[in-house]
Structure 1
Amino acid sequence: MKNRTLKTLAPIASVAVLVAIALPAQAEDWRGWNIHPDGYPNTMALEEFADAVAEQTEGRVNPRVYNNAVLGDQSDAIEQTRNGALDFANFNMGPMGPIVPETNVFSLPFLFNDVEHMHTVMDGEIGERFADALEDKGLVVLSWFDSGARSIYNTQRPIKTPEDVEGLKIRVMNNDLYVDMIAAMGGNATPMSYGEVYQSLTTGVLDGAENNYPSFESSNHYEATGYYSLTEHLIIPECLCVAKSSWEELSEEDQEIVREVAEEASARQRELWVESSEESRQIVLDYGVEINEVDDKAAFQALMEPMYEEFIANNPGTGELIEEIRATE
């Protein structure tokens, strides 16, 4: 009986070995965090990134993007990615300061001349230095995304000079520099979660907020405000980052594939951003929002000088960095 059983099992064992050899190595199922909704330029670029990685690694890495911050807010997602609970994400550098203090420099108003200047800085040697600092904290930067220029919108009046901001209750992201920025203009800054802004605008808890065209439109904030003023006070880069632990599990071949796809995703995101910004601008114009240029940005910039002086005094070495950024062509 024993011999018959062994003879019966032998062919089965052989088949099992053959099947095991034929099967590919176990795929890495990557979870990706994204704050933006479907159809947003970042979302489209991230989803194209995920599809291309899965295809080009032949299924060895299978990324999936979770949109609308369903896996937590950005602060939580940063921590989850650092500890490997999430595998990749698109992060704005604004809330990164508590983890990587060097990134606070991006929250200084009017640091970059324009969006193209930001691209030049981040795609060069200075961007590499920031990537190294992020990797030291567990985040591998694959490429840099765009988030446009942030401007002020409100329910009361067009903003043409700093005096027009005086007394307005303006929502800002949770960062002391943004609070100081609005205060320097004479406004009352109110840190608040993004999801609470629409209702606060409609009820008068807020007079306004600040953001880029695609966010202004996709959040429907334009429905609750009448004025969008092109102060373009903040131009903050974003990263496509991978958890260091997830990155180190990849073969060198797959690392090269993932990085190349991420660079393509960055170019695609920037292209989509320009298209989306124009579409969003037209939507809010058609709705009746008044959009105005700010002819004298120097008046706003002059009010920020005390912020710069205090920031440099509290963060030794940043004065030279700020000069490098501004001198980059």
Structure 2
Amino acid sequence: MKFFSLRSIMLCCGLATLLSITGCQRQQDHITLRMGHSLDQEHVVHKAMVYMAERLEHYSKGQMHIQIYSGGQLGSERELIELLQIGSLALTKVSASPLEGFVPRMQVFSVPYVFRDSAHLWAVLNGAIGQDLLNSMHSARLHGLGYYDAGSRSFYTTNKAIRQPADLKGLKFRVPNSQTSVQMVQTLGGAATPVDWGELYTALQQGVVDGAENNPPSFFLSRHYELSKYYSLDEHTSVPDVILMSLPVWKSLTTEQQGWLELAMKDSVRYQRDLWQQASDDALAKVKAAGVEVIYPDKAAFAAAVQPLHQSLQGTEVGNLMAEIALVQGETAEVSND
């Protein structure tokens, strides 16, 4: 049984009027689904959600709408998940990392160097393993609609460059609310500190943490490059974003309405993946222009350094899942970027 934080309960009560108690508002033949997330409106993931809303209106012939609340207006990632569980919000986007607190198998995405490359990642996400992980969230009163590309996560720091694993020693790194992410940083010799994404700029500014890790667009759009002048592209994890829906709200829709939503989701996945690579390239160019030193370390050294973490998972449910993932080849053609 999941327990909700006091802040989440208070937030839910405070938003009861806004969200009409449930995550979807029905007026005659029209349905409006409320969607909240923590990203800036310039982020490609937000743009993909806007496109998803447009496609849903197209498929439903104007009968279904998505109203998006960006920038953490409705709470942190964990709070948004909890609002979905009780049906007070219909949709959200979260990183897969915090989901391990709700569905333990999702911690596989926070284990470093599980995926060989982007093609391997998407072969897994588009295949049986990816679908099974989405389905497993029903046990937490969540329905997984699909995955968005979030690239690979790499370390950035304020005062010391990370060129090899030993350079993490003695430094404090912000990590998402994921025990596996904590273990990864500790295995590399750093100190892990979970900090909410919306509070990270201040934490870097005040020296609460010495650095963090994320993908290039998030590093740029968060303006963390203003404080962190070293970005080391070790690409330790490939953690996708997940579009989640409240299971109670999902079940309240007809089969036809669910089908419209699934079609809109598939369209938005293709759209978002087309945008992602360009956004990553642009972000790296802009942070370099702003004076950030972008470092390309030997990733093999980092992969070797986290082998104790891999070994500790052997024989566990996650370790067995990692072994299945290792056998997956190539990328499925369904969502290729042609």
Question: Distance between the aligned counterparts of 1:202 and 1:124, measured in 2?
Answer: 42
Find the counterpart in structure 2 of residue 324 from structure 1.
324
- Matched to 2:311, the amino acid is E
Instruction: Look up the match of 1:73.
Output: 76
1:246 corresponds in structure 2 to 249
1:137 — aligned with what?
140
Output the CA distance in 1 between the equivalents of 2:187 and 2:148: 29
CA distance in 2 between counterparts of 1:182 and 1:132 reads 29
Q: How does 1:77-92 map to 2 (within 5 A)?
A: 77-92=80-95
* Inter-CA distance 287–34: structure 2 relative to 1 (3 Å threshold): same
Structure whose alpha-carbon radius of gyration is higher: 1
Cα deviation digits, residues 263-291 of structure 1 (max 9, x gap): 01011111111111111111101101110
Aligned to 1:181: 184
- Residue pair 2:55, 2:264 contacting (<8 A) in 1 also: yes
CA distance in 2, matches of 1:191, 1:176: 9
Residue in structure 1 matched with residue 194 of structure 2 by the alignment? 191
Q: Is the 8 A contact 1:145 1:266 kept in 2?
A: yes
Q: For 2:250 and 2:205, locate their aligned partners in 1 and report how far apart those are by CA, in whole Å.
A: 44
Q: What CA deviation, in whole Å up to 9, does each residue of 1:193-215 have, x standing for no partner?
A: 22222223233332211111011
Per-residue deviation at 1:93?
1.0
Instruction: Render the CA deviation track for 1:203-246: whole Å, top value 9, x for unaligned.
Output: 33322111110110011110111110001111112222222222
Is 1:301 aligned to residue 303 of structure 2?
yes
Residue 25 of structure 1 contacts residue 60 of structure 1 at CA under 8 Å; is this kept in 2? no
1:283 aligns with 2:286: yes
Please give the TM-score of this superposition, normalised by the length of structure 2: 0.85
> Normalized against structure 1, the TM-score is what?
0.87
Aligned residue type for 2:270: A
For 1:48, which of 47, 51, 65 is the aligned residue? 51
Counterpart contact for 1:162–1:299, Cα < 8 Å: yes
1:322 alignment partner AA = M
The AA in structure 1 aligned to 2:317 is G
Matched ranges for 1:26-65 at <5 A? 26-65=29-68
Moved over 4 A (4+): none
Instruction: After TM superposition, give the deviation of residue 85 of structure 1 in Å.
Output: 0.9
| Residues 210-219 or 45-54, more deviating | 45-54
Is the Cα contact below 8 Å between 1:82 and 1:244 reproduced in 2? yes
| Partner Cα distance (1:183, 1:271) in 2 | 35
| 2-structure distance, mates of 1:61, 1:168 | 49
Shift of 1:28: 1.5
Matched residue, 1:123: 126
Letter of the structure 2 residue corresponding to residue 262 of structure 1: M
AA partner of residue 326 (structure 1): A
Partners of 1:203 and 1:37 lie apart in 2 by: 22
Cα distance in 2 between the residues matched to 1:321 and 1:188: 27
Q: 1:267 aligns with which of 267, 270, 273?
A: 270
Q: Structure 1 residue 77: deviation in Å?
A: 0.9
Whether 1:163 and 2:196 are equivalent positions in the alignment is: no
Question: Higher helix proportion, which one?
Answer: 1
Identity %: 33
SS in 2 for 1:97: helix
Q: State the 1:42 CA deviation.
A: 0.6
2:240 match: 237
CA RMSD of aligned residues (A): 1.6
CA offset at residue 26 of structure 1? 3.1
CA contact (8 A) 1:31 1:63 kept: yes
Task: Please list every run of 5 or more consecutive structure 1 residues that lacks an aligned counterpart in the other structure.
Answer: 1-23
* Contact preservation (8 Å) 1:118, 1:237: no
Q: Distance between the aligned counterparts of 1:264 and 1:34, measured in 2?
A: 19
SS at structure 1 position matched to 2:140: coil
The one-character-per-residue Cα deviations of 1:13-62 (angstroms, maximum 9, x if unpaired) are xxxxxxxxxxx943221100211111101100001111221232123222
State the alpha-carbon separation in 1 of the partners of residues 215 and 271 from structure 2: 18
Q: Structure 2: how far apart are the matches of 1:175 and 1:319?
A: 17
